[in-house]
């Protein structure tokens, strides 16, 4: 990359049901992220939002509806569907093209007005083979989890430990939707939704207005003393039908390799100081850590048991509580990025990790058993 | 502008009522054709941009999942761009920025829609929020009819003249579609046929309106180095512009349509175009409604405000005219919405590459393509040239 892109400011709304309407929620977060950077809408170059129609309270072409609330009136703006890290990357591209100095990335989701998560994810299924049998994201994840337990001898207790860790971490996160101190037994004893997945190992349905302001290097330095730099990004998509895929060797490996290559990272275990990972199902944090190279293949169980991924461990994963604590479907990838930026800046409040964070990883995934992944690396220096 | 970006190949389906083919196979048809056209293989592609209209159109959410294989996108970086009716041009813009940023050298852009599997007007009614607008703006024609009435009243254009000009556009575009092997509706119609066709929403009649089409379009974008290395004739991106305005229909002036005016201006400024009617050789304007096409001519600076009906009736915008518009038959004859803006891009690219076959505008060197979306709300423009 010849030019650099900096993150100037970030803002996010709380995950619990809000009595504010969609417009008010979106407007407030847009305003906050601009005010933190000390700029107005007039100064803003471009806007890329992320949202999904079907998750969006019954309104098609979602960005028509919220266009002005994200500051986009008579601006060159665009939109990504499904994954908010896509929007982040598109905004980075727009700045790197040299056409814009600043870009607002905004992810919008009002979970409380949406149908249940899996009513929506059922619509990912093709209408002929999968949908008649009711395949949706939780069922696909249960199949993946069973395979994971059997192939590597990971235990259900180890998977439940992820939920214990993340829901406890969420106690320090004022934006988290679900939080609490649970035991492994309580996690495993919660309602069995799709064997072997229990309710507390499955993410809730949350609100999530999340914003990130990006700027070219020169502009970023002018706007903030603490720019966090875009270092790398990678995404990848897997085949559609579950039977065509190895559910334990998914496209995250490719996405991570691309992001690491761009960021010049040779040994992620040493060079990544902190990871915020999209784990809508507890076991996925372990599997994704393997795919990201944060531990060896089949060693996700050992990783959680070692305590290294706790908030005070040497490789903190999801100190925010992750997606198990806060799950605004489309917004969750960008929310991981916001949390990574806050940790690097030392602005994560009670959830700040007790170690120096120079380089952090944010991950997003959507689709059955992680059909699509995106990885972003940000850092200082 | 960032580093130079070129279009090096296009693939379209035969658009129409494709009931004998599944939605993924429809997508595959366009993707296979772009690989045949360019001689490239999926392994050469650095990333894929896909897009469509909202999920309710065909009842499938996040179609990049379902079409991963049809798009040859498994194992590839992916982006999913959606901006309502302007999705197609926004896909082209995304592919452009991906390469202009230096992040990729070859990007496959795919737009698709299988409208006969759903109810397009019911879907478009849900673009409107459920409290105010949904009750009185049913589908697309309502919005566009109001807009054309507002425009006619403002400039005092006689009703008969507008009716004649719109009918003229319908007749010529329907004729043009016969020379486009991929076009959906191919009808020989007369001015009287148009004026006597069934009323949809006054003043819009059936032959003033686009069809519901099934179709897909695939376009490969390349960096300058890659285009040269492949030694292929290319269409070069000279300008990109996009603007959006208020969601609530009554808040914006749809007569002098700022999103259209400014999107075109942004693209013209980048391309160094000052007098579009003289400098452009051809335009692929997104024209789902005849009346609206005239508004675009004015907003894009092809003529003064309120002047377009006279110029239309003089033949200025026909295939043999000063600035041929939609020689492919345009959206009026073919509208698989999520693909439509990308089809405009593909057609403009074919024109400047001199590969448009029977509907080629001789010597075309500079072309405009465009798409519109939202509640009469978004406009996106791209300028393509024969030279880098």
Q: B298-339: per-residue pLDDT in tens?
A: 999 999 999 999 999 999 999 999 999 999 999 999 999 999
Continuous H helices in chain B: 23-38, 63-66, 87-100, 120-125, 139-155, 159-177, 191-196, 224-230, 258-271, 276-279, 290-299, 308-313, 330-333, 337-353
Q: What is the pLDDT, as a whole number, of residue B2?
A: 77
Q: Chain B interface, mutation test: which of A1, A5, A53, most B Cβ atoms within 10 Å?
A: A53
> Which residue is associated with the tokens 């879907």?
B123
Give backbone dihedrals phi and psi of A94, rounded to 5 degrees, phi first: -65, -40
Residues 368-387 of B with CB under 8 A from A: 373-375, 377-378
Q: Which residues of B332-355 are buried (b: 16+ CB within 10 A; e: fewer)?
A: bbbbbbbbbbbbbbbbbbbbbbbe
A61, B374: Cβ pair inside 8 Å? yes
Q: Which of B61, B75, B129 sits opposite A236 (nearest CB)?
A: B75
Q: Which of B57, B65, B377 sits opposite A240 (nearest CB)?
A: B65
pLDDT tier, B141 (very low <50, low <70, confident <90, very high otherwise) = confident
Q: Which of A77, A80, A244 sits opposite B79 (nearest CB)?
A: A80
Q: CATH for A5-115+205-223?
A: 3.40.47.10
Write down the number of H helices and E strands in chain A: 14, 11
Q: What is the pLDDT, as a whole number, of residue A58?
A: 78
pLDDT tens for B177-217 read 999 999 999 999 999 999 999 999 999 999 999 999 999 99
Q: Which of A73, A123, A371 sits opposite B61 (nearest CB)?
A: A123
Does any domain span residue B317? yes
The size of the A-B interface in CB pairs under 8 A is 201
Does any domain span residue B143? no
Mean pLDDT of B36-64: 95
Number of domains in chain B: 1
In order of A192, A283, B102, B271, the CA distances from A195 in angstroms are 6, 13, 46, 59
Q: Is the ipTM here above 0.90? A: yes
Q: Is B76 on the interface with A (CB under 8 A)?
A: yes
B122 pLDDT above the threshold of 90: no
Strands A46-50, A76-80: pairing is parallel
Cα–Cα distance for residue pair A274/B275, rounded to 1 Å: 55
Q: Give the whole-number percent of chain B exceeding pLDDT 70.
A: 100
pLDDT tens for A95-118 read 999 999 999 999 999 999 999 999
A251, B75: Cβ pair inside 8 Å? yes
Task: HSE, CB side, 13 Å, CA atoms: give it for residue A225.
Answer: 0
A60, B56: Cβ pair inside 8 Å? yes
CATH of the domain at B309: 3.40.47.10
Closest chain A residue to B122 measured between Cα atoms?
Answer: A60
Could you state, in chain order, the average pLDDT of each consecutive group of 10 residues for chain A (381 residues)?
88 96 96 98 97 80 94 97 97 97 97 93 95 97 98 98 98 98 98 98 97 98 98 98 96 98 98 98 98 98 98 98 97 98 98 98 98 98 80
Q: How far is B103 from chain A (nearest CA, A)?
A: 8
B245, A73: Cβ pair inside 8 Å? yes
Strands A5-12, A228-237: pairing is antiparallel
Q: Is B74 on the interface with A (CB under 8 A)?
A: yes
CA–centroid distance for B293 within its chain: 12
Q: Is B54 on the interface with A (CB under 8 A)?
A: yes
Q: What is the pLDDT, as a whole number, of residue A1?
A: 53
A237, B76: Cβ pair inside 8 Å? yes
Q: Which of B388, B366, B14 is nearest to B213 (CA)?
A: B14
Residue B294 belongs to domain spanning: 5-120+211-385
User: Chain B contacts of A240, Cβ < 8 Å?
Assistant: 65-69
Q: What is the pLDDT, as a whole number, of residue A366?
A: 97
Mean pLDDT of B6-25: 97
Does any domain span residue B103? yes
Does any domain span residue B179? no
Please return the burial class of A19, using the count of CB atoms within 10 Å of its CB with bins 0-12, 13-18 and 19+: exposed
Does any domain span residue B294? yes
B243, A74: Cβ pair inside 8 Å? yes
Q: Which of A63, A83, A236 sits opposite B76 (nearest CB)?
A: A236
Q: What is the pLDDT, as a whole number, of residue B250?
A: 85
User: Chain B contacts of A75, Cβ < 8 Å?
Assistant: 243-244
Q: Is B139 on the interface with A (CB under 8 A)?
A: no
Q: Is B266 on the interface with A (CB under 8 A)?
A: yes
At A12, is the secondary structure helix, strand, or coil? strand
Residues 6+ apart with CB under 8 A from B33: B10, B11, B12, B13, B218
Strand partners, A233: A376
B1 pLDDT above the threshold of 70: no
Does any domain span residue B268? yes
pTM: 0.98
> Which residue is associated with the tokens 């005070």?
A312
pLDDT tens for A130-164 read 999 999 999 999 999 999 999 999 999 999 999 99
């Amino acid at each position: 990359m010849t030019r650099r892109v900096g993150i100037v400011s970030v803002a996010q709304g709380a995950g619990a049901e809000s009595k504010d309407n969609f417009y008010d929620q979106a407007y407030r977060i847009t305003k906050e992220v601009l005010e933190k950077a000390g700029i107005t809408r007039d100064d803003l170059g471009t806007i890329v939002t992320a949202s999904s129609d079907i998750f969006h309270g019954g309104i098609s072409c979602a960005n028509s509806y919220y266009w002005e609330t994200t500051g986009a009136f008579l601006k060159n703006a665009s939109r990504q569907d499904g994954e908010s890290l896509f929007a982040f990357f598109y905004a980075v591209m727009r700045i790197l093209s040299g056409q814009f100095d600043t870009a607002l990335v905004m992810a919008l989701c009002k979970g409380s007005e949406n149908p249940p998560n899996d009513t929506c994810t059922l619509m990912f299924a093709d209408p002929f083979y999968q949908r008649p049998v009711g395949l949706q994201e939780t069922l696909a994840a249960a199949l993946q989890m069973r395979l994971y337990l059997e192939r590597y001898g990971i235990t259900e207790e180890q998977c439940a430990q992820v939920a214990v860790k993340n829901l406890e971490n969420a106690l320090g996160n004022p934006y988290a939707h679900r939080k609490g101190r649970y035991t492994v037994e309580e996690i495993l004893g919660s309602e069995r939704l799709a064997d072997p997945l229990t309710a507390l190992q499955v993410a809730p349905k949350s609100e999530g207005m999340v914003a990130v302001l990006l700027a070219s290097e020169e502009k970023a330095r002018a706007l903030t003393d603490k720019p966090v730099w875009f270092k790398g990004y990678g995404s990848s998509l897997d085949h559609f039908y579950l039977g065509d895929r190895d559910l334990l060797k998914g496209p995250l490996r490719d996405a991570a390799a691309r992001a690491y290559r761009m960021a010049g990272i040779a040994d992620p275990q040493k060079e990544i100081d902190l990871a915020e990972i999209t784990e809508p199902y507890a076991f996925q944090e372990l599997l994704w850590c393997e795919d990201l190279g944060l531990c060896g293949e089949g060693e996700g169980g050992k990783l959680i048991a070692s305590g290294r991924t706790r908030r005070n461990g040497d490789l903190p994963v999801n100190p925010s509580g992750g997606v198990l604590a806060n799950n605004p479907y489309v917004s969750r990838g960008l929310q991981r990025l916001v949390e990574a930026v806050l940790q690097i800046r030392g602005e994560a409040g009670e959830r700040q990790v007790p170690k120096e964070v120079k380089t952090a990883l944010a991950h997003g995934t959507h689709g059955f058993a992680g059909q699509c992944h995106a990885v972003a690396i940000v850092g200082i220096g | 502008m960032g580093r130079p970006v070129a279009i090096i190949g296009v693939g379209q389906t035969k658009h129409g009522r494709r009931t004998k083919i599944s939605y993924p196979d429809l997508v595959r048809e366009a993707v296979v054709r772009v690989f045949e056209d360019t001689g490239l293989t999926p392994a050469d592609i650095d990333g894929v941009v896909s897009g469509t209209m909202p999920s309710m159109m065909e009842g499938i959410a996040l179609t990049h999942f379902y079409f991963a294989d049809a798009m040859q996108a498994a194992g590839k970086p992916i982006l999913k761009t959606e901006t309502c009716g302007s999705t197609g041009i926004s896909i082209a813009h995304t592919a452009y920025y991906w390469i202009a940023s230096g992040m990729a050298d070859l990007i496959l852009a795919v737009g698709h829609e299988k409208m006969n599997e759903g109810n397009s007007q019911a879907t478009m009614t849900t673009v409107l929020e459920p409290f105010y607008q949904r009750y009185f703006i049913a589908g697309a024609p309502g919005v566009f009819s109001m807009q054309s009435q507002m425009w006619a009243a403002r400039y005092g254009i006689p009703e008969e003249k507008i009716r004649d000009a719109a009918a003229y556009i319908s007749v010529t575009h329907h004729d043009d579609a016969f020379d486009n092997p991929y076009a959906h509706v191919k009808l020989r119609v007369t001015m009287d046929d148009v004026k006597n066709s069934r009323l949809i929403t006054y003043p819009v009649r059936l032959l003033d309106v686009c069809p519901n089409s099934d179709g897909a379009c695939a376009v490969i974008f390349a960096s300058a180095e890659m285009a040269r290395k492949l030694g292929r004739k290319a269409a070069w991106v000279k300008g990109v512009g996009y603007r959006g305005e208020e969601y609530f229909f009554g808040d914006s002036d749809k007569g002098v349509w700022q999103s259209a005016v400014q999107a075109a201006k942004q693209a013209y400024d980048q391309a160094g175009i000052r007098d579009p009617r003289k400098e452009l050789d051809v335009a692929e304007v997104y024209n789902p409604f005849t009346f609206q096409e005239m508004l675009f001519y004015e907003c894009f600076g092809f003529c003064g405000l309120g002047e377009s009906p006279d110029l239309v009736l003089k033949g200025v915008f026909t295939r043999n005219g000063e600035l041929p518009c939609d020689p492919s038959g345009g959206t009026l004859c073919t509208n698989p919405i999520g693909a439509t803006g990308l089809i405009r891009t593909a057609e403009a690219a074919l024109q400047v590459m001199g590969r448009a076959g029977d509907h080629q505008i001789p010597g075309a060197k500079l072309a405009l393509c465009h798409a519109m979306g939202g509640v009469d709300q978004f406009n996106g423009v791209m300028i393509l040239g024969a030279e880098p």
